[in-house]
Chains A and B, each alone.
Chain A
């Protein structure tokens, strides 16, 4: 099995964009989605990220405080998944309800790189 990092990228807090009814329906779908991943043993961990943060560049650089509106996109949270291969992980990512409910949301999927020689 391999591990994958799934980053949820949204334009701000998606709750602000959706109507309360849509957000409620969305919330229920996401909870089901997590339950399914969990039950199948694919979910290692997941957390939301605070909207505020800093970007640092270069030694002694000045902090650049977020939220990083100029990029119009923030990482709202991440999922760490377990999957047989990239294709399977991509199917899991594609099933996340946010792709359907928030048209500007994007999901980035990256495989966690292992040292060569480790069997898994």
Chain B
């Protein structure tokens, strides 16, 4: 087990991100189909670092130390038998062309190259040939330096499950012969879209869950933001309004992260949150990205979602929220994404603008949608509107349906509490 021992989790984030950088650089050297080799080399280098640093202390430039050791290990491995001779000689040539002595800068390991390699890694991990679950697991493992136990903890699943996902992901990369590069031309826009979907999925994985380790959940949000920033900092990708919009959305939502739950771990609605807990600095960064995102007329789902989130955040109080503006944002959103969940959320906004009865009428319009027949939130929303409208009999019926359909214990107890109060 020693070689496979998970080292990155042993030392904090800096270490973790160094691991991600190193794996990206070495994957370029070895090729995307040998990604696991890069992971192993970095793992070994980190293990060696821990061993040495327990006697020598942490060196002045730990990153340079790690790079040097990882490079030497890489050379040793490709020189060992088992690798195709020509492949090995190409890789060795690549590594040897680097100056071997410090403090000469390594072109292969320059900040700029590392940044580019991480971007290549993002596009490789978020390739549509991989399932979304595999994409996220692989990105967390290779780019973010998460260990398998940490990923399992974040996903509330077993280590074996994550291991299988990673194996499948690497296999898909080999099968689809995915190159280690940033796509160009027309491909770029499509692939960038896929990358953003995965990044947003990763963010929501951390943001929306109501159970599990809070610290690791917040780290998932931070990692999603970090990956999006790597894209936004790149100089070769020119059209980045949508990435700015996604960053705006993530920053603005992250600014409310600490206020989302009460001390017992129950999720709080926007109306219930303590606004003094909102992080103004994150909100400010988010609003900054939002203005970068709206510098030309391009518009995406992220633009609208960010604008809605911003409306909530800049309102002086929940009651003073500009519901009319939010409603027109929802109308734009539906033109881009005509999904039942967005209609449901829009109905809530309608009730704020025009009253509960109007909200009920909106729900009526979408009630036959198959997505809602087993969705508890549809019925709890309906119950809320009935309560506001004074129709308690129907409210009770709707709440009972919602309780029957709900599965998360904290949500069930919240609904039951509401029912008792009627």
Interface of A toward B, CB cutoff 8 Å: 13, 15-16, 20, 23-24, 27, 30-31, 34-35, 38, 46-48, 77, 79
A–B complex contacts, Cβ < 8 Å, 8 sampled: A20-B147, A20-B149, A23-B10, A27-B11, A27-B53, A46-B55, A47-B55, A48-B52
Instruction: Beyond A27-B11, A35-B57, A48-B51, list 6 extra A-B contacts (CB 8 Å).
Output: A20-B149, A30-B54, A31-B54, A34-B54, A47-B56, A48-B55
**Contact present for B55 and A77 (CB under 8 Å):** yes
**Contact present for B50 and A15 (CB under 8 Å):** yes
Query: Count of A-B contacts with CB under 8 A?
Result: 43
Query: Roughly how many angstroms separate A48 CA and B9 CA in the complex, as a whole number?
Result: 22
Within 51-82 of B, Cβ neighbours of A (below 8 Å) are at 51-58
Closest B residue to A28 by beta carbon equals B11
Query: Roughly how many angstroms separate A42 CA and B156 CA in the complex, as a whole number?
Result: 47
State how many angstroms separate the Cβ of B20 from the closest Cβ of chain A: 18
Query: Roughly how many angstroms separate A15 CA and B1 CA in the complex, as a whole number?
Result: 11
State how many angstroms separate the Cβ of B55 from the closest Cβ of chain A: 4
Query: Residues of B contacting A48 with CB < 8 Å?
Result: 51-52, 54-55
Interface of B toward A, CB cutoff 8 Å: 1-2, 5-6, 9-11, 47, 50-58, 147, 149
Closest B residue to A12 by beta carbon equals B2
State how many angstroms separate the Cβ of B50 from the closest Cβ of chain A: 6
Query: Residues of B contacting A20 with CB < 8 Å?
Result: 6, 9-10, 147, 149
State how many angstroms separate the Cβ of B386 from the closest Cβ of chain A: 50
Query: Residues of B contacting A35 with CB < 8 Å?
Result: 57
Query: Roughly how many angstroms separate A30 CA and B51 CA in the complex, as a whole number?
Result: 11
**Contact present for A24 and B56 (CB under 8 Å):** no
**Contact present for B54 and A24 (CB under 8 Å):** no
**Contact present for A15 and B5 (CB under 8 Å):** yes
Query: Roughly how many angstroms separate A30 CA and B56 CA in the complex, as a whole number?
Result: 10
State how many angstroms separate the Cβ of B18 from the closest Cβ of chain A: 15
Query: Roughly how many angstroms separate A20 CA and B52 CA in the complex, as a whole number?
Result: 17
**Contact present for B10 and A34 (CB under 8 Å):** no
**Contact present for A27 and B57 (CB under 8 Å):** no
**Contact present for B5 and A31 (CB under 8 Å):** no
State how many angstroms separate the Cβ of B56 from the closest Cβ of chain A: 6
Q: A31-B58, A47-B55, A77-B55 are in contact. Are A13 and B2 (CB under 8 A)?
A: yes
State how many angstroms separate the Cβ of A44 from the closest Cβ of chain B: 12
**Contact present for A31 and B57 (CB under 8 Å):** yes
Closest A residue to B56 by beta carbon equals A46
State how many angstroms separate the Cβ of A9 from the closest Cβ of chain B: 14
Query: Roughly how many angstroms separate A69 CA and B209 CA in the complex, as a whole number?
Result: 48
State how many angstroms separate the Cβ of B237 from the closest Cβ of chain A: 37
**Contact present for B5 and A24 (CB under 8 Å):** no
Residue with the highest number of chain A CB atoms closer than 10 Å, among B55, B56, B147: B55
Query: Roughly how many angstroms separate A58 CA and B8 CA in the complex, as a whole number?
Result: 45
Residue with the highest number of chain A CB atoms closer than 10 Å, among B5, B51, B52: B51
State how many angstroms separate the Cβ of B183 from the closest Cβ of chain A: 37
Query: Residues of B contacting A77 with CB < 8 Å?
Result: 54-55
State how many angstroms separate the Cβ of A88 from the closest Cβ of chain B: 21
**Contact present for B2 and A34 (CB under 8 Å):** no
**Contact present for B54 and A79 (CB under 8 Å):** no
Query: Residues of B contacting A16 with CB < 8 Å?
Result: 1-2, 5
Closest A residue to B57 by beta carbon equals A34
Query: Residues of B contacting A23 with CB < 8 Å?
Result: 10
State how many angstroms separate the Cβ of B325 from the closest Cβ of chain A: 47
Partner of B50, one of A27, A34, A38, A47: A27
